Amino acid sequence: MSLKCPKCGAVNPDIASFCWNDGEKLATTGVSPFRFSDGSTATTIAELAIQIERHVVYDSKPVLRSDSLAHLYRGDFSAWLSSIGRGDIAMIARQIVAQESDPNIGLGKFLANLAGEIHQASSEQQRTSINPKDGAVMILIPAGEFLMGSADNEGYRNENPQRKVYLDAYYIDKFEVTNVQYREFMKATGHEPPRDWSDYDTRRLNHPVVGISWHDAIAYAEWAGKRLPTEAEWEKAARGADGRKYPWGNMPPDTGGQYRANYKVGKYGAADGYSNTSPVGSFPLGASPYGVMDMAGNVWEWCADWYDSGYYREAPTKNPPGPSSGRHRVLRGGAWLNDDIFYLRCAARGWHAPTLTFNYVGLRCVQNLKPRS
Ligand SMILES: [Ca+2]
Ligand SMILES: [Ca+2]
Selection from 66, 60, 110 nearest residue 88 by Cα:
60
Dist. CA 261 → ligand 2 center (Å):
9
Dist. CA 8 → ligand 2 center (Å):
39
Q: Report pLDDT for 75.
A: 52
The number of the ligand nearest the C-alpha atom of 176 reads 2
The number of the ligand nearest the C-alpha atom of 332 reads 2
Dist. CA 213 → ligand 2 center (Å):
16
> Which CATH architecture does the domain made up of 129-368 adopt?
Alpha-Beta Complex (3.90)
The number of the ligand nearest the C-alpha atom of 301 reads 2
Structural Rg of the chain based on CA atoms: 21
- CB atoms within 5 A of ion ligand 1 belong to 262, 269, 272, 274
Dist. CA 298 → ligand 1 center (Å):
8
Task: State how beta strands 144-148 and 163-167 pair.
Answer: antiparallel
Q: Report pLDDT for 116.
A: 55
Q: Report pLDDT for 222.
A: 98
The number of the ligand nearest the C-alpha atom of 360 reads 2
* Angle ∠(114,253,92) on CA atoms, nearest 5: 25
Dist. CA 285 → ligand 1 center (Å):
15
Does pLDDT of 169 surpass 50?
yes
For residue 272, give every residue at least 6 positions away whose Cβ sits within 8 Å of its Cβ, in sequence order, or none. Answer: 254, 259, 261, 262, 263, 265, 266, 278, 283
Dist. CA 265 → ligand 1 center (Å):
6
The number of the ligand nearest the C-alpha atom of 299 reads 2
Dist. CA 268 → ligand 1 center (Å):
8
Q: Which amino acid is located at 349 in the chain? A: R
The number of the ligand nearest the C-alpha atom of 175 reads 2
pLDDT one-digit tens code per residue, 217-269? 999 999 999 999 999 999 999 999 989 999 999 999 999 889 999 999 999 99
- CB atoms within 5 A of ion ligand 2 belong to 294, 298, 333
pLDDT one-digit tens code per residue, 133-157? 888 889 999 999 999 999 988 899 9
Distance (Å, whole) CA 323 – CA 245:
25
- Please name the residue ranges forming H helices in 34-87: 45-52, 62-73, 77-83
Distance (Å, whole) CA 283 – CA 245:
17
pLDDT-based confidence at residue 13 (cuts at 50, 70, 90):
very low
Domains in the chain: boundaries: 34-126, 129-368
Distance (Å, whole) CA 298 – CA 272:
11
Side-chain-side CA neighbours of 336 within 13 Å: the count stands at: 26
Q: Which amino acid is located at 123 in the chain? A: S
For residue 196, give every residue at least 6 positions away whose Cβ sits within 8 Å of its Cβ, in sequence order, or none. Answer: 211, 359
Task: State how beta strands 361-362 and 300-306 pair.
Answer: parallel
- Strand ranges (DSSP E) for the chain? 3-4, 11-12, 34-35, 41-42, 128-130, 137-141, 144-148, 163-167, 170-173, 300-306, 329-332, 349-352, 361-362, 366-368
- Higher-pLDDT residue of 38 and 317 is 317
Q: DSSP 3-state helix, strand, coil percentages of the chain (rounded to 5)?
A: 35, 15, 50
pTM over 0.75: no
Dist. CA 182 → ligand 2 center (Å):
16
pLDDT one-digit tens code per residue, 19-58? 433 443 333 334 445 555 456 666 555 555 565 555 444 3
